[in-house]
A and B are shown apart, each in its own frame.
Chain A
């Protein structure tokens, strides 16, 4: 398991469902990360651009701008931050769109906490702030 460091990995959670956002925040904190939460597409975009993150946990279905559009916009701007997409739609087309837009991983709700942690660790391995 990753260890706490003085400069924890920074994660941005963009999730409109309050309970899930809260769950992710607590889970990531427990895993020794420093999460920031945004609850819609435009808020997420603003937060993402406001500071560098080590990883983005991005829900697909968001009010306003959907997660894949948000991701595509950041990738178009040259942002390479690793992204884990979350969705409640177990649909190949959504997965294809997400991966084509530049996501590194794709988790279908309800996902296992340890699966999420595995993804987070793998994708943040080798970052300056990683363990």
Chain B
């Protein structure tokens, strides 16, 4: 059933979108967490090392400048004990800054390419070792040795300062780089979140659509189910009504037969009972057929049949059917081609229509059975001179149990099931059946059956079988 599988799609779509939505929500969570962590790492690293490096290097430079200042005090003034003490204090401050830097670099991530603290310390110590003895051996009258030692010490200090500057620059560069990385991480994270959220919105939209489709589909299914169930209830009600009528006749006649004493009258009643029972079995058969042919699935035994042979057989049977009626049958069959059909079912449909036509024809008139080919379709037309069918009833006559006003005794034409059976048969073949006005009064029923497409052209003209019967059997 393709229909059923088509109705499965919204359900599958729903499951897929719900799954996608859950995955997307999880993805947003994971992405969010990872972005957060990246940003956190970058920030931590920057604060723990890069920024700290710049900071400490800066402090070192300040300490060196301070030391140089006190060094100058010693040179331009006398190296008094208090001045020397202050200078030494500044020297220890420089060493302390180097220790701090060493501690930082020990935790540092990437000390490659940077001046080592050992180098720094060696320079500082070299400075101290060159200058301190000269300070101790200061001679106000001969400052030559003192000033030479000062120059040598200052040379060491200059080197130390330039290294500190290198470190400071490096720290600055690293801090700038770190802040840029933070910016990058944050903005990349923002973009990823925007994309994921956009995806989420799309998945949500798809889910909404799927839910809508599911609701529509289930509503349609429920309506279809209700229609089927209502049709069944109606059918059963109509069917029981159809059976009550013959049952009334059977029961009434049987009861009458019990009362009647005249033998001949009783025989007549028994004959009526038999005839009614036969009629009733026909109704039961029709009902069974229509129940089985529900949803246009008439069980057909399809064969390739020559249209002309089929129609000749049908015409023969129609003549037999109509022989006992006060009407004539005129046939005009001009067909060629093959069709894939169940001959019995086609015949049944045509005979129902012929029987109907005979029932409506005024005595003495003729019923016409014509067949021809038109546009790859076999057209079978049955015409009568009856009262015609009102426009508003032309489609309803093919409904089960439908009876128009002004029909003769309805059971003359079955239980109102004949045309429904004819339609089920014709539509089962992919054909059509419709009632039309007949020029000059009456009705023309037109049955159209599709010919097998590949054979039509080849067969045209090779098998025409015009048959004219009737008008002789008055």
Residues of A within 8 A of B (CB): 16-20, 23-24, 26-27, 30, 39, 63-64, 88-90, 108-114
**Interfacial chain B residues near A26, Cβ < 8 Å:** 256
Which residues in B have their C-beta under 8 angstroms from that of A113?
Answer: 251-252, 255-256, 259
Q: Which of B205-213, B239-247, B452-460 contacts A (4 or more CB under 8 A)?
A: B239-247
The answer on a CB contact under 8 Å between B403 and A88 is no
Determine whether the beta carbon of A109 is less than 8 Å from that of B247. yes
- Please tell me if the beta carbons of B248 and A88 are within 8 angstroms of each other in the complex: yes
B247 touches A110 (CB 8 A): yes
A2 CB to nearest chain B CB (Å): 13
Closest to B268 in A: A26
A-B contact count (CB 8 A): 68
- Which are the 5 A-B pairs with shortest beta-carbon distances? A113-B255, A88-B244, A110-B248, A110-B247, A109-B248
Q: Are A19 and B259 in contact (CB under 8 A)?
A: no
A-chain residues with CB within 8 Å of residue B240 when the two chains form the complex: 90
Interchain CA distance A19-B280 in the complex, whole Å: 12
Decide yes or no: A18 and B409 within 8 Å by CB, A88-B244, A110-B248, A112-B251 being known contacts: yes
Q: How far is the CB of B330 from chain A (nearest CB, A)?
A: 29
Check: B272 CB closer than 8 A to any chain A CB: yes
Q: In the complex, which residue of chain B has the Cβ closest to the Cβ of A40?
A: B406
Report B44-99 residues with CB < 8 Å from chain A CB.
none
Most buried by A among B244, B250, B272, B403: B244
Inter-chain CA distance A93–B405, complex, in Å, is 23
- Known pairs A18-B411, A88-B244; A63 contacts B252 (CB<8 A): no
12 interchain pairs (CB within 8 A)? A18-B412, A19-B249, A19-B272, A20-B249, A23-B256, A39-B409, A63-B403, A63-B406, A88-B244, A89-B241, A90-B240, A112-B255
Cβ distance B233 to chain A, nearest Cβ, rounded Å = 12
A101 vs B253: C-alpha distance in the bound complex, in angstroms?
Answer: 30
Interfacial chain A residues near B410, Cβ < 8 Å: 16-17, 63
Does B409 contact A27, Cβ atoms closer than 8 Å? no
Cβ of A111 and Cβ of B248 under 8 Å apart?
yes
- Of all chain B residues, the one with the shortest Cβ separation from A65 is B405
Q: Does B41 contact A (CB under 8 A)?
A: no
Contact assessment for A63 and B405 in the assembled complex, using a CB-CB cutoff below 8 Å: yes
List of A residues within 8 angstroms of B312 by Cβ: none
With A19-B249, A88-B241 already in contact, the answer to whether A114 and B407 are too (CB < 8 A) is no
Contact partners of A110 in chain B: CB under 8 A: 244, 247-248, 250-252
Instruction: Point out the residue from B245, B259, B406 that lies within 8 Å of A109, measured CB to CB.
Output: B245
With most chain B CB atoms within 10 A of its CB, the pick from A16, A108, A109 is A109
Interface residue tally for chain B (C-beta within 8 Å): 27
In whole Å, how far is A74's beta carbon from the nearest beta carbon of chain B?
Answer: 20
**Cβ contact within 8 Å between A64 and B244:** no
B241 touches A17 (CB 8 A): no
CB neighbours (8 Å) of A109 from chain B are: 244-245, 247-248
> Is B260 a contact of A30 with CB atoms below 8 Å?
yes
A113 to B407, CA, bound (A): 28
Residue of B nearest to A27 (CB): B256
Q: Which residues of B contact A89 (CB under 8 A)?
A: 237, 241
Whether the Cβ atoms of B249 and A23 lie closer than 8 Å is yes
B276 contacts the other chain (CB 8 A): yes
Name, among B250, B252, B405, the residue most crowded by chain A CB atoms within 10 Å (CB to CB): B252
Asked, given contacts A17-B411, A63-B407, whether A30 binds B248 with beta carbons under 8 Å apart, the answer is no
B252:A27 contact, CB within 8 angstroms: yes
Chain A residues with CB under 8 A of B259: 30, 113
Give, as a whole number of angstroms, the nearest-CB distance from A23 to chain B.
Answer: 4
Contact B260 A88 (CB under 8 A): no
CA distance A109 to B276 in the complex (A): 15
CA distance in complex: A24, B244 (Å): 15
The residue from A20, A64, A90, A108 contacting B252, defined by CB atoms under 8 A apart: A20
- Is there an interface contact between B245 and A17, defined as CB atoms closer than 8 Å? yes
A26-B240 Cα distance, complex, nearest whole Å: 26
B250 to chain A, nearest CB (A): 7
Which residues of chain A are within 8 angstroms of B237 by Cβ–Cβ distance? Answer: 89
Q: How far is the CA of A108 from the CA of B245 in the complex (A)?
A: 10
Please give me the residue from chain B that is nearest to A41 by CB atom. Answer: B405
B112 to chain A, nearest CB (A): 101
* A20-B403 CB under 8 A given contacts A30-B256, A113-B256: no
Closest to A114 in B: B255
Closest to B269 in A: A26
Q: How far is the CA of A112 from the CA of B251 in the complex (A)?
A: 7
A16–B407 Cα distance when bound, in Å, is 10
Are B255's CB and A20's CB within 8 A? no
| Residues of the A chain whose Cβ atoms lie less than 8 Å from the Cβ of B403 | 63
Q: How far is the CA of A27 from the CA of B260 in the complex (A)?
A: 10
With A and B bound together, what is the CA distance between A112 and B256 in angstroms?
A: 10
Q: Which residues of B sit under 8 angstroms from A39, Cβ to Cβ?
A: 409
Q: Nearest CB to that of B404 among chain A residues?
A: A63
**B-side contacts of A23, CB under 8 Å:** 248-249, 252-253, 256
For the complex formed, measure the closest distance between the CB of B268 and the CB atoms of chain A, giving whole angstroms. Answer: 9
